């Protein structure tokens, strides 16, 4: 539920109690509602702190700018950290924001790094789903690399199959198969950036490590694009 809705419901509840209940009952129920409000705000603060800790752990290696928003007491708003700077000679950004989905505000984590501009080339890599598997069964296939295990795990959408087959070499495919689980996220090429976005809050060590592995693949893809531009093939 949207947190603004919770705050509004608490306020309406307090007003109704004053109108329809005795003073003693109003105090009791009012204290309960305030307790619920406080508990929700503390829960949000706890999750925010865990997320900040994981971003700080990522930055222990990246050593770029970590931004932590100011926090207010008894606030029901999510306040996400972000990382931005230059790492391994590429601009890097890792951030979180809430998006509206079916009337609910849900958190998304996004990562992006510089990549060579490939005009007109589209690329999306995501985990295989039941829906995409069924489409394959009726002949609507995505791009196949020839790596049976990889093709079973991942869905690739592109308008340039040769570019993608050159890009996804054996080393990158092996790391994706063994180390990276994209869940419901999508890795895409957007003009001159490689981007990854997923509906997730990074507040555990496992999720942070998974994001670090995805970031490693993004840097490998960007580097391989450099080789492809220069007419080389990375060994």
DSSP secondary structure of 48-85: HHHHHHHHHHHHHHH-SEEE-----TT--S----EEEE
Lookup: tokens for 69: 């928003």
At 41 the pLDDT is 66
Count Cα neighbours of 117 within 13 Å in the Cβ-side half-sphere: 1
Q: Is the CB of residue 78 less than 8 Å from the CB of residue 44?
A: yes
* Per-residue pLDDT tens listing for the chain (235 residues): 445 555 555 556 555 555 555 666 666 666 666 666 656 666 677 778 889 999 999 999 999 999 988 776 666 666 789 999 999 999 999 999 888 877 777 889 999 999 877 777 888 998 877 766 666 655 555 677 888 888 888 888 888 888 888 899 899 999 888 877 788 899 999 888 999 999 988 989 999 999 999 999 999 999 998 888 777 664 4
At 18 the pLDDT is 55
Q: Select from 11, 56, 54, 49 the least CA-distant residue to 33.
A: 11
CA distance 102 to 186: 20
Q: At what angle are helices 3-20 and 23-62 packed, to 10 degrees?
A: 170
């Amino acid at each position: 539920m949207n947190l603004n809705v919770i705050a509004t419901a608490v306020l309406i509840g307090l007003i109704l109690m004053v109108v329809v209940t005795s003073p003693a009952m109003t105090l009791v129920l009012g204290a309960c509602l305030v307790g619920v409000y406080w508990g929700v705000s503390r829960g949000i603060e706890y999750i925010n702190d865990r997320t900040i800790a994981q971003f700080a752990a990522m930055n222990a290696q990246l050593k770029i700018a970590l931004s932590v928003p100011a926090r207010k007491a008894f606030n029901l708003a999510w306040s996400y950290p972000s990382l931005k700077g230059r790492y391994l000679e590429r601009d890097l950004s890792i951030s979180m924001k809430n998006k509206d989905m079916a009337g609910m505000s849900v958190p998304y984590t996004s990562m992006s790094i510089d990549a060579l501009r490939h005009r007109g080339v589209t690329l999306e890599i995501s985990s295989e789903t039941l829906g995409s598997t069924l489409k394959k069964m009726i002949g609507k296939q995505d791009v196949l690399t020839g790596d049976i295990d990889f093709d079973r795990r991942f869905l690739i959408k592109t308008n340039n199959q040769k570019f993608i087959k050159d890009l996804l070499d054996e080393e990158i495919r092996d790391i994706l198969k063994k180390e990276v689980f994209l869940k419901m996220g999508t890795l895409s090429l957007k003009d001159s950036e490689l981007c990854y976005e997923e509906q997730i809050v990074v507040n555990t060590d496992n999720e942070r490590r998974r994001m670090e592995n995805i970031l490693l693949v993004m840097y490998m893809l960007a580097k391989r694009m450099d080789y492809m531009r220069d007419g080389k093939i990375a060994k």
